[in-house]
Amino acid sequence: MAPTTHAAAPGLTLWAETAADLMMNNPMSIRARATVREAIAMLTDHGFSAAPVIDEAGRAIGVVSRADILIHDREKNTKEGAAAYYQSADLTTRAGERLGPGFHVQAMDSTLVRDIMTPAVFSVSPTTSAEKVVEQMVVLKIHRVYVVEKDGTLVGVISAQDVLRHLRPEV
């Protein structure tokens, strides 16, 4: 069998110099005091897999991801021994009204985001070189890095998708 030859494809170049060039400005974040239920709604409604968690001053203090929520749900259900809702034929309201078959009661989860978040934020400054941003993402095996000012204020996010958007064929 004869070896096949292929013309070498042109390389790709990252067309960005700094983190500020790569980042999406004003990323959506969630308050540390928000409930897990609110985090689920926010992530689902916006199609995000994670969001930075901020304190009252707007500083990133952690990240909550779909994985964090799934782990919380699994641990909660393991501790309770069953799903967090049940069905009963003998349910009554606080006023004493009996509810017939088919009604469900669901325990509301009051857990806060700060209790399940990953308490680490991989961050860079807006002036960090684009090369260094990509290097950190690869070495740390992370999908996103947050861009913060010197005072810790969150100003942007860089996802792997953002990096890919800035790749151009070499000329």
Structural domains of the chain, count: 1
On whether residue 84 sits in a domain, the answer given is: no
Could you report the per-residue pLDDT of 126-149, keeping only the tens digit for each? Answer: 999 999 999 999 999 999 999 999
On whether residue 100 sits in a domain, the answer given is: no
On whether residue 47 sits in a domain, the answer given is: yes
On whether residue 117 sits in a domain, the answer given is: yes
| Residue 51 clears pLDDT 60, i.e. is over it | yes
On whether residue 60 sits in a domain, the answer given is: yes
Of the listed ranges 74-78, 89-93, 166-170, the least confidently predicted one is: 89-93
In order, the DSSP letters of 108-141 are PP--BHHHHSBS---EE-TTSBHHHHHHHHHHHT
CA distance 29 to 39: 10
On whether residue 62 sits in a domain, the answer given is: yes
CA distance 155 to 24: 9
- Measured from the Cβ of residue 143, the count of other Cβ atoms closer than 10 Å reads 14
Q: What pLDDT score was predicted for residue 153?
A: 86
Question: Which residue range is the domain that position 144 belongs to?
Answer: 13-79+112-169
On whether residue 88 sits in a domain, the answer given is: no
Specify the higher pLDDT residue, 9 or 144: 144
On whether residue 34 sits in a domain, the answer given is: yes
Specify the higher pLDDT residue, 97 or 156: 156
Q: What is the CATH number of the domain that holds 39?
A: 3.10.580.10
